[in-house]
Amino acid sequence: MISLSLIGAGRIGRIHAANVAARASSHGDIRLAGIADAIPQAAEELAARVGSKAVGLEEALEGGTSNAVLIASPTDTHAEFIERAANAGKAIMCEKPVDLDAGRIRKVLAAVEAKGVKLLVGFNRRFDPNFASLKARIKTGAVGDVELVTILSRDPAPPPVSYIERSGGLFRDMMVHDLDMARFLMGEDPVEVHAVGSALVDPAIGAAGDVDTAAVLLKTASGRIAQISNSRRATYGYDQRIEVHGSKGMLRAGNVHETTVELANGGGITADPVQNFFLERYEAAYRRELAAFIAVVKGEQATWPNGHDGLKAQILADAATASAKSSQPVKLSWS
Amino acid sequence: MISLSLIGAGRIGRIHAANVAARASSHGDIRLAGIADAIPQAAEELAARVGSKAVGLEEALEGGTSNAVLIASPTDTHAEFIERAANAGKAIMCEKPVDLDAGRIRKVLAAVEAKGVKLLVGFNRRFDPNFASLKARIKTGAVGDVELVTILSRDPAPPPVSYIERSGGLFRDMMVHDLDMARFLMGEDPVEVHAVGSALVDPAIGAAGDVDTAAVLLKTASGRIAQISNSRRATYGYDQRIEVHGSKGMLRAGNVHETTVELANGGGITADPVQNFFLERYEAAYRRELAAFIAVVKGEQATWPNGHDGLKAQILADAATASAKSSQPVKLSWS
Amino acid sequence: MISLSLIGAGRIGRIHAANVAARASSHGDIRLAGIADAIPQAAEELAARVGSKAVGLEEALEGGTSNAVLIASPTDTHAEFIERAANAGKAIMCEKPVDLDAGRIRKVLAAVEAKGVKLLVGFNRRFDPNFASLKARIKTGAVGDVELVTILSRDPAPPPVSYIERSGGLFRDMMVHDLDMARFLMGEDPVEVHAVGSALVDPAIGAAGDVDTAAVLLKTASGRIAQISNSRRATYGYDQRIEVHGSKGMLRAGNVHETTVELANGGGITADPVQNFFLERYEAAYRRELAAFIAVVKGEQATWPNGHDGLKAQILADAATASAKSSQPVKLSWS
Amino acid sequence: MISLSLIGAGRIGRIHAANVAARASSHGDIRLAGIADAIPQAAEELAARVGSKAVGLEEALEGGTSNAVLIASPTDTHAEFIERAANAGKAIMCEKPVDLDAGRIRKVLAAVEAKGVKLLVGFNRRFDPNFASLKARIKTGAVGDVELVTILSRDPAPPPVSYIERSGGLFRDMMVHDLDMARFLMGEDPVEVHAVGSALVDPAIGAAGDVDTAAVLLKTASGRIAQISNSRRATYGYDQRIEVHGSKGMLRAGNVHETTVELANGGGITADPVQNFFLERYEAAYRRELAAFIAVVKGEQATWPNGHDGLKAQILADAATASAKSSQPVKLSWS
Supply the mean pLDDT for chain B: 96
Task: Count residue pairs from C and D with Cβ separation < 8 A.
Answer: 93
- Are the C-beta atoms of residues D313 and D123 closer than 8 Å to each other? yes
Q: At B152, is the pLDDT very low, low, confident or very high (cuts 50, 70, 90)?
A: very high
Judged by CB atoms closer than 8 Å, whether chains meet at A261 and B25 is answered as no
Judged by CB atoms closer than 8 Å, whether chains meet at A227 and D231 is answered as no
**Is the ipTM value over 0.85, yes or no?**
yes
pLDDT reported for residue A44:
97
- Are the C-beta atoms of residues A46 and A76 closer than 8 Å to each other? no
The closest of C130, C127, C124, C250 to D259, measured between CA atoms, is C130
Find the residue in D nearest to C268 (Cα): D249
pLDDT in tens, C262-305: 999 999 999 999 999 888 899 999 999 999 999 999 999 999 99
CA distance D267 to chain B (A): 7
CA distance B36 to chain C (A): 41
pLDDT reported for residue B49:
86
Q: Does residue B279 carry a pLDDT above 90? A: no
Q: How far apart are CA C220 and CA C203, in angstroms?
A: 34
Give the neighbours of chain D: at least 3 Cβ pairs within 8 Å.
Answer: A, B, C
Q: How far apart are CA C81 and CA A161, in angstroms?
A: 79
Q: At C22, is the pLDDT very low, low, confident or very high (cuts 50, 70, 90)?
A: confident
Judged by CB atoms closer than 8 Å, whether chains meet at A268 and C266 is answered as no
- Are the C-beta atoms of residues A236 and A273 closer than 8 Å to each other? yes
H helix intervals, chain A: 11-27, 40-50, 57-62, 78-87, 102-115, 129-139, 161-166, 170-173, 175-186, 203-207, 278-281, 283-297, 307-326
Query: Which DSSP string corresponds to B50-105?
Result: HT--B--HHHHHH-TT-SEEEE-S-GGGHHHHHHHHHHTT-EEEEESPS-S-HHHH
Task: Count residue pairs from A and D with Cβ separation < 8 A.
Answer: 112
Judged by CB atoms closer than 8 Å, whether chains meet at B268 and D269 is answered as no
Q: Does residue B50 carry a pLDDT above 90? A: no
pLDDT in tens, A182-227: 999 999 999 999 999 999 999 999 999 999 999 999 999 999 999 9
User: CB under 8 Å to D10, separation ≥6 — which residues?
Assistant: D37, D42, D72, D73
pLDDT reported for residue A26:
80
Domains of chain D: 2-117 (3.40.50.720), 126-331 (3.30.360.10)
Q: Are strands C68-71 and D119-122 parallel, antiparallel or unpaired?
A: unpaired
Judged by CB atoms closer than 8 Å, whether chains meet at D225 and A214 is answered as yes
Supply the mean pLDDT for chain A: 96
In percent, the amount of chain C with pLDDT more than 90 equals 95
User: CB under 8 Å to A29, separation ≥6 — which residues?
Assistant: A1, A2, A23, A294, A298
Task: Please count the other Cβ atoms lying within 10 Å of the Cβ belonging to residue C100.
Answer: 21
pLDDT reported for residue D26:
80
Q: Does residue A335 carry a pLDDT above 80? A: no
Average pLDDT over residues B232-240: 98
Q: How far apart are CA A21 and CA C121, in angstroms?
A: 69
D→B contacts (Cβ < 8 Å), by residue, are 235-236, 257, 263-274
Q: Does residue D51 carry a pLDDT above 90? A: no
- Are the C-beta atoms of residues A135 and A211 closer than 8 Å to each other? no
pLDDT reported for residue B327:
94
Give the neighbours of chain C: at least 3 Cβ pairs within 8 Å.
Answer: A, B, D
Q: Chain C interface, mutation test: which of D26, D261, D270, most C Cβ atoms within 10 Å?
A: D261
Average pLDDT over residues B211-228: 98
Q: Does residue B33 carry a pLDDT above 80? A: yes
Find the residue in C nearest to B145 (Cα): C200
Q: Does residue C14 carry a pLDDT above 90? A: yes
pLDDT reported for residue D49:
86
pLDDT reported for residue D50:
87
User: CB under 8 Å to D61, separation ≥6 — which residues?
Assistant: D5, D7, D36, D69, D81, D84, D85, D88, D90
pLDDT in tens, D233-246: 999 999 999 999 99
Q: Does residue A115 carry a pLDDT above 90? A: yes
pLDDT reported for residue C46:
94
Task: Count residue pairs from B and D with Cβ separation < 8 A.
Answer: 50
pLDDT reported for residue C318:
98
Mean pLDDT lowest among A3-12, B16-25, C324-333, D316-325: B16-25
Average pLDDT over residues B187-194: 98
CA dihedral in degrees (C245, C250, C255, C256; nearest 10)? -140
A→B contacts (Cβ < 8 Å), by residue, are 18, 21-22, 25-26, 49-51, 129-130, 133-134, 137, 142-143, 248-256, 258-266, 272
Residues of B in contact with A129 (CB under 8 A): 259
Q: Which residues of A65-92 are buried (b: 16+ CB within 10 A; e: fewer)?
A: ebbbbbbbbebebbbebbbbbbebebbb
- Better-predicted residue by pLDDT, C22 or B223: B223
Find the residue in D nearest to C240 (Cα): D260
Judged by CB atoms closer than 8 Å, whether chains meet at A225 and D225 is answered as no
Average pLDDT over residues A272-299: 95
pLDDT reported for residue B226:
98
Residues of B in contact with D267 (CB under 8 A): 270, 273
Judged by CB atoms closer than 8 Å, whether chains meet at C217 and B215 is answered as yes
Largest interatomic CA distance in chain C = 66
pLDDT in tens, B53-86: 999 999 999 999 999 999 999 999 999 999 999 9
Write the CA distances from D17 to C25, C164, C183, D49, integer angstroms: 11, 44, 42, 9
pLDDT reported for residue D279:
87
The answer, yes or no, to whether the previous bond of B40 is cis (omega within 30 of 0) is no
Q: How far apart are CA A127 and CA D313, in angstroms?
A: 42
Q: Chain A interface, mutation test: which of D151, D196, D210, D239, most A Cβ atoms within 10 Å?
A: D196
Average pLDDT over residues C326-332: 97
pLDDT reported for residue D99:
95
Facing residue for C231 by CB, picked from B213, B217, B245? B245
The answer, yes or no, to whether the previous bond of C97 is cis (omega within 30 of 0) is yes
CA distance B152 to chain A (A): 15
Give the neighbours of chain B: at least 3 Cβ pairs within 8 Å.
Answer: A, C, D
Write the CA distances from C78 to C83, C86, C87, C247, C315, integer angstroms: 9, 12, 14, 41, 17
pLDDT reported for residue C28:
85
Q: How far apart are CA C225 and CA B215, in angstroms?
A: 7
Residues of D in contact with C272 (CB under 8 A): 133
pLDDT reported for residue A229:
98
CA distance C207 to chain D (A): 38
Judged by CB atoms closer than 8 Å, whether chains meet at B249 and A262 is answered as no
Find the residue in D nearest to C128 (Cα): D259
pLDDT reported for residue C50:
87
Q: Does residue C181 carry a pLDDT above 80? A: yes
pLDDT in tens, B102-128: 999 999 999 999 999 999 999 999 999
Judged by CB atoms closer than 8 Å, whether chains meet at D247 and A231 is answered as no
Judged by CB atoms closer than 8 Å, whether chains meet at D200 and A327 is answered as no
Q: At D27, is the pLDDT very low, low, confident or very high (cuts 50, 70, 90)?
A: confident
Q: At D274, is the pLDDT very low, low, confident or very high (cuts 50, 70, 90)?
A: very high
Q: How many CA atoms are closer than 13 Å to the CA of D265, on its beta-carbon side?
A: 11
Judged by CB atoms closer than 8 Å, whether chains meet at A25 and B248 is answered as no
pLDDT reported for residue D328:
96
Residues of C in contact with D256 (CB under 8 A): 260
User: CB under 8 Å to C269, separation ≥6 — which residues?
Assistant: A236, A257, A270, A271, A272, A273, A274, C262, C263
Q: At A181, is the pLDDT very low, low, confident or very high (cuts 50, 70, 90)?
A: very high
pLDDT reported for residue D150:
98
Residues of A in contact with B249 (CB under 8 A): 263-266
Judged by CB atoms closer than 8 Å, whether chains meet at B25 and A250 is answered as no
Give the neighbours of chain A: at least 3 Cβ pairs within 8 Å.
Answer: B, C, D
CA dihedral in degrees (A19, A21, A22, A26; nearest 10)? 130
pLDDT reported for residue C97:
93
Task: Please count the other Cβ atoms lying within 10 Å of the Cβ belonging to residue B113.
Answer: 13
Q: Chain B interface, mutation test: which of A148, A251, A263, most B Cβ atoms within 10 Å?
A: A263
Average pLDDT over residues B89-107: 96
Task: Please count the other Cβ atoms lying within 10 Å of the Cβ belonging to residue B298.
Answer: 12
> In a 3-state reduction of DSSP, which class is residue D60?
helix
Residues of A in contact with B262 (CB under 8 A): 251-254
Average pLDDT over residues C209-219: 98
> In a 3-state reduction of DSSP, which class is residue D42?
helix
Residues of C in contact with B250 (CB under 8 A): 234-236, 239
Average pLDDT over residues A65-88: 97
Alpha-carbon Rg of chain D, whole angstroms? 20
CA distance B169 to chain D (A): 26
Give the total residue count for chain A. Answer: 335
Supply the mean pLDDT for chain C: 96
CA distance D313 to chain A (A): 21
Judged by CB atoms closer than 8 Å, whether chains meet at B272 and D268 is answered as yes
Q: Does residue C335 carry a pLDDT above 80? A: no
pLDDT in tens, C108-148: 999 999 999 999 999 999 999 999 999 999 999 999 999 99
Q: Chain C interface, mutation test: which of B229, B239, B251, most C Cβ atoms within 10 Å?
A: B229
Supply the mean pLDDT for chain D: 96
pLDDT reported for residue C51:
87
Q: Does residue A179 carry a pLDDT above 80? A: yes
Judged by CB atoms closer than 8 Å, whether chains meet at A328 and D328 is answered as yes
